Amino acid sequence: MTKRIITAIFAAAVVVSVGVAFPRHGDQAAAIVGDNIVTGGGAGLFPAGATFNGIELAGGTFGLGAQISTDGSSTGDFELQLNGSSLIGLSQWITITGWITTGTSNPDGSVTLQGTGTLDMGDGTGPTGGLPLVATAGPSGLTVTIGGTTLPTLPKSDGWVINE
């Protein structure tokens, strides 16, 4: 329970800090000069049968914040917490974090963010860093590819993704 509260607080802090922490010209905020600001936070439940690396997934929460420049470069953060059951039925939390370096606003209202990520399977082994990360977030949910493996889409049942 404490881990969920800390995760929610961290995700909210990431979203708020990225939204206001990128000054561009003197005291002007990034949103004033034409770059897109993407913020989001949400939660969802996976459909039955969703798995990742042998873990049966139940649901997840995410937080993201990024500034996408007109040239496609981006600066931002991403975090995804997945909860599920291990092969022996124990609760397992999988954490994916990432540093966003490029981004694209898509015609369907979603945004695709790319960068470098870290995967922590939550099984006592150390996290694996330096993995390519692609996250597409939109009104219907979140799809993430980490290290070449695409996770099942997390349908968004609560939260938001705003691309301004």
Per-residue pLDDT of 17-47, as tens digits, reads 545 444 443 333 433 446 889 999 999 999 9
What per-residue confidence (pLDDT) applies to 1? 54
**Secondary structure class of 90 (helix, strand, coil):** coil
What per-residue confidence (pLDDT) applies to 23? 43
pLDDT for 13 beyond 80: no
What per-residue confidence (pLDDT) applies to 6? 53
Considering Cα of 77, then 69, then 114, then 151, what sign does the dihedral take? positive
For the segment 54-72, the average pLDDT, to the nearest whole number, is 95
Question: CA of 110: how far to CAs of 4, 101, 140, 150, 153, in Å?
Answer: 26, 17, 9, 17, 13
Over its C-alpha atoms, the chain yields an Rg (Å, rounded) of 16
- Reported as a pLDDT band with limits 50, 70 and 90, residue 158 is very high
What per-residue confidence (pLDDT) applies to 31? 39
Share of the chain above pLDDT 70, in %: 79
Question: CA of 7: how far to CAs of 42, 61, 62, 80, 95, in Å?
Answer: 12, 9, 9, 9, 10
pLDDT for 120 beyond 60: yes
For the segment 66-74, the average pLDDT, to the nearest whole number, is 94
The token pair at 96 is 């994916």
For the segment 152-158, the average pLDDT, to the nearest whole number, is 94
Among candidates 156, 161, 159, 130, which has minimal Cα distance to 36? 161
